[in-house]
Amino acid sequence: MIFHSTKNKDHRVSFKEAIFKSLPPDNGLYFPEFIPELPEEIIADLGGHSEIEIAFAIAKPFIEGQIPESELFEILEDTLTFSFPLTDVEDHIKTLELFHGPTWAFKDVGARFLSRCMGYFTRESGEESVILVATSGDTGSAVAAGFYDVPGVEVKILYPKNKVSEIQQKQLTSWGKNINAFEVNGTFDDCQKIVKSAFLDKDLNEALNLSSANSINIARLLPQSFYYFFAIRQLESKEKIVFSVPSGNFGNLTAGVLAQKLGLPIDHFIAATNVNRVVPDYLETGKYVPQPAVQTYANAMDVGDPSNFVRLLELFHHSHPEMAYDIKGFHMNDDMILETIRVCYEKNGYLLDPHGAIAYEALKKNLKPGEQGIFMETAHPVKFLNVVDIAIDEELDFKEKTKELLQKGSYYHSIEKDFAGFKEMMLAGKY
């Protein structure tokens, strides 16, 4: 499989080049030259295949010729070491729980897969790499866990000051060794701009072998398509299937559309956002207008210019009518997030995190008769107790779950939202 830039289809690279370079030199994103169709026997009998077998069938055509099949199978076995239960919440609404990995968030799968792919290539070549990643919360912790102590890889994580939860910050900063965390005095968009600027900077790229572990990296995106197969594998319903996806940088939703294009029978999607509603507005008007990110209770979705939107455009052939037919937009504010968490807990006994709450409410408002709704619960509520406790007016006890984490030290550097200053630090080898 060859990958091309979303801005220039003549710029073509291998899977290895795509994951280590992350961004093409024209500031586009890497995208597969074609979307393969999975074997019919896989689609028709998901329940008859293991999760590893399904993941292997999905990943193989994208990576063929780059990683031997036996190594790829081992990478997937080492990546998918936890469960992805589909849980009933209420009639016709289920949730796919994606928080059973080491950092209690859906990004564990993509980060583990990427780190193991990079680890394979690093062992083969002996080259060292520097991973740059911007995070609004969960990406950074998943990347830190995935790459911790991986030989030949240094990780630099940028996160916005005072805009991640206490648990998230501890998961970002408690590693040491090859993991360096930077607290940026700005928003997630500011962090993302620094990372993108670094990849386009000639001096940094000559001095360091830069790569990214954000969902801009194609190896982060591809394994997120597994989730949708794992969900439908557990379904008995023959109704039309609607996925409601909490959306910030739009990697998870892009992966869902990819799963659909691979042949998975998904009727349509809901792009569920907080007040950072640039994509729902595009779906309604056909006009894409990036906005400064607004801080909300669903902080992992505080993104005003989502990177993966350009990949969505590719998947829908740059057709607004085609995208708007397949994806419905939904957004809600912080007061509605609190109310949704409270009502769902009281009515169903199910505790939502702020991001899952938006996706759940999107189904409540939009699901039609004859449809089976599935929303992604992308993080464990323990990561957002400051929000959850307000919502249900009850202090929940997760001390046993968080005890070991909270006892760890914190290691981070405070910086301004200034690329020039960050570049100077990287070239000086200070951190």
Token code pair at residue 18:
């795509």
pLDDT class of 89 with cuts at 50, 70, 90:
very high
Distances (CA, A) of 162 to 165, 184, 188, 229, 379: 8, 9, 11, 36, 19
pLDDT class of 430 with cuts at 50, 70, 90:
low
When pLDDT is averaged across residues 198-213 and rounded to a whole number, the result is 86
pLDDT class of 269 with cuts at 50, 70, 90:
very high
- 8-state DSSP, 52: H
Please state which of the ranges 129-143, 224-238, 248-262, 307-321 shows the lowest mean pLDDT: 129-143
Amino acid identity of 24?
P
| Domain annotation for the chain: domains and CATH numbers | 72-106+221-398 (3.40.50.1100)
- Give pLDDT tens digits for 302-358: 899 999 999 999 999 999 999 999 999 999 999 999 999 999 999 999 999 999 999
What pLDDT is recorded for position 300?
Answer: 86
Token code pair at residue 240:
């039309």
**Spatial distance between the Cα atoms of 344 and 351, rounded to a whole number of angstroms:** 7
pLDDT beyond 70 at 114:
yes
- Give pLDDT tens digits for 270-284: 999 999 999 999 999
Q: How far apart are the first and last CA of the chain?
A: 36
Higher pLDDT, 395 or 426: 426
Most confident of the following: 41-45, 141-145, 171-175, 236-240:
41-45
Higher pLDDT, 266 or 237: 266
When pLDDT is averaged across residues 89-98 and rounded to a whole number, the result is 97
Q: What is the pTM of this model?
A: 0.88
**Spatial distance between the Cα atoms of 385 and 138, rounded to a whole number of angstroms:** 15
**Spatial distance between the Cα atoms of 208 and 222, rounded to a whole number of angstroms:** 26
